[in-house]
Structures are given as structure tokens and as C-alpha cells.
Amino acid sequence: MNPYSHRQVARIAAPLIISNATVPLLGAVDTAVMGHLDAPDYLAAVAVGSTLFSILYLGFNFLRMGTTGLAAQAFGRAQNSELRTVLGQGFLSALVLSLALILLQGLLGSAGLTLIGADGFVEKLAQTYFDIRIWSAPATLCNFVLLGWFIGMQNGRAPLILLVVITGVNILLDLVFVVGMDMETDGVALASALAEYTGLICGLALLRPILRDNPGTWHLELSEDVTFLHKAGLRQALSRVKPGGHVILDASRTLRMDVDVRDVIEDFRSRAKEDDISLDLKSPEDAKVAWVLSDFNKQAS
């Protein structure tokens, strides 16, 4: 099948269009639950707070777009390890940036409300909204990374599920907190925060089978002296390699290796053939250990 056909493009784009169509529904529910309160200040405060976060998170959209581009390049080259690197770097960046937002929440909140022009009771309510929702920053930014990574993997279904879950949980909790529990702007903010964390859990659940189906490279570097004390650790590490994976066993620095360790490597070599695991061995240059690995090296090649 042509990966650039209209059908393939539509397969990726259609779920994203549908998922983005759910966003106005959330705004309508927020307006409805706030509108039933006895003062318009509550609705104004939620509008101010939502606008503030929209502006704030707009500056971090590079987490999604940048991740999409890098993940797409790695996916196109079938570099599974690079896919994991892109995802890990994205998560690390998201967590560092979200920590900075939380630490600077006082400055950001006051400056944002001043620039928007909120005052009086609306400013107080909007500040409450901001103080609660800012704690969802780690989940929100990590969700940006997940969305970008899924799109880069040409997976339109996962972003659809993720965004629908976030929107659905947000709407449900809005009704529970504001209508059912008589909360105010704090209820809407809490609903948004919990929805983001629920979405993150859902995204990680969607991520797991994708990573399992795209195993990366395991690079195991052996020390100069590999004794029976290393046997258990090496066996445990090799047991974690999934079918279809790639293992680089670097013994280039090894001078001495116990026979027990060689047996572990031999057992893994047999499993590698059965589980379609690609195995590369970097043999030691020292002749003292060459006899230990020579047979394994021939069979692995």
C-alpha cells in the first residue's frame, strides 16, 4: 500500500479532525455549568482562567510539533531506539518545563491576570482557578509529547482516544463538582486538572503495546573481568529483551570471562533465533578471552 495515498492521509487526519471537534463541546459545558450559578462573575472568571492557560500553553506547543517531526523521521527510518529516545527526551523536557511553571506560578498568575485586565471578584475567582489548574502542567505537557509522538508514528487512532477521554472526563467531572457538589470555579479547575492526568494514564496505556511491537536496541557493555558474580545480572538483563528486538553485546573491553557467563550468552543465543532477536557481538581484541567467545561469535554471525 502506498504510504502517501489519499486513503492513508485520511486515515491519519480523520481521527484528529473528529477529536478536535470535541473541544468546543467542553467549552459549551463549562459555560452551561457556570451559567447556572447566581452571578456572571463565575463564568467570566472561568473564561479569564481558560484564556490565560491557552496563552501559556501555546508557548509549549513545540513539544507536540517537534516530537511529531523527530518521531516521524525515526519511524520512517525504522529506528526503534531513536523513537524511544525522542519520546524520553520529550517527557524529560515536559517535566522540567512543568516544574518551572509550578515554581513560577505566583509570578505567572499575577502577571497574566494583570495583562488580561481582570479585577475585583472576577480576579479573585480566576486566581483560584489558576492556582488549582497549574498543578496539571506535568500531565498537560506530557500529553503534548504523547500526541506528537503518536502522530509521528502515523497513528491517528491513539490521539483520538486520548483527546476524547480528556474531554469526556472533564465534562463528567464538571457536572459532578459544580452541579452535584455545588463547587464554583474551583470545581471547573479541578475537573480540568484531573482530566489531564486521566488522559496521561490513558496515553501511557496506549503507548505500551506500541513500544512492545517496536522493540528497541539493548546495548550491554561487559566489564574487563566478567565472573560468575555477573551471571545473574546479565541473565536478568537479557531476559527483558522482547521478541524482534536488537541486542548489542559489547565485550570489546573484556579480558577474562567465566564459563558460567558464557553459558548465559549461549542460552540467549538460542532464544534469539527462536524469537527473531537480532544479536551483534563486539568481540574482545585480547587473545586471552578469544577462545571463550569464538564459538559464540561464529554462531551469532
Convert the pLDDT of each residue in 219-273 to its tens digit: 778 888 888 788 888 888 888 777 777 787 888 788 788 888 888 888 888 888 8
C-alpha cell at 119: 479585577
Domain of 239, in residue numbers: 217-300
Same domain? 193 vs 278 = no
Instruction: Let me know if 216 is exposed, middle or buried by CB neighbors in 10 A (0-12, 13-18, 19+).
Output: middle
Asked whether the beta carbons of 16 and 156 are under 8 A apart, the reply is yes
pLDDT at position 200: 95
First CA to last CA across the chain, in angstroms?
Answer: 33
Query: What is the secondary structure of 80-120 as a DSSP string?
Result: HHHHHHHHHHHHHHHHHHHHHHHHTHHHHHHHHHHHHT--H
Pairing of the two strands 278-282 and 217-221: unpaired
Same domain? 142 vs 248 = no
Same domain? 246 vs 277 = yes
Same domain? 146 vs 262 = no
Same domain? 63 vs 167 = yes
pLDDT at position 22: 63
pLDDT at position 284: 63
Give the separation between CA 89 and CA 219, rounded to whole angstroms: 18
Domain ends where: 164, 185, 213?
A: 213
Same domain? 242 vs 276 = yes
pLDDT at position 295: 45
Query: pTM of the prediction?
Result: 0.76
The CATH number linked to 256 is 3.30.750.24
pLDDT at position 231: 82
pLDDT at position 301: 47
C-alpha cell at 97: 518545563
285-to-57, 254, 290, 291, 297 alpha-carbon distances in Å: 53, 8, 8, 11, 13
Give me the residues of the chain with pLDDT under 70, please.
Answer: 1-5, 19-27, 216, 284-301
Same domain? 95 vs 63 = yes
pLDDT at position 3: 56
Count the alpha carbons within 13 Å of 36 in the hemisphere toward its beta carbon: 13
Nearest alpha-carbon partner for 126 in 44, 57, 187: 44
On whether residue 20 sits in a domain, the answer given is yes
- How many independent structural domains does the chain possess? 2
On whether residue 259 sits in a domain, the answer given is yes
On whether residue 1 sits in a domain, the answer given is no
Same domain? 147 vs 281 = no
pLDDT in tens, 47-65: 888 888 888 888 898 999 8
pLDDT at position 294: 41
Same domain? 221 vs 159 = no
- Cβ neighbours of residue 33 closer than 8 Å, sequence gap 6 or more: 174, 175, 178, 179, 188
Same domain? 256 vs 200 = no
Same domain? 143 vs 25 = yes
pLDDT at position 26: 67
Residue recorded with cell 520512517: 76
Give the separation between CA 278 and CA 294, rounded to whole angstroms: 18
Nearest alpha-carbon partner for 166 in 132, 124, 196: 196
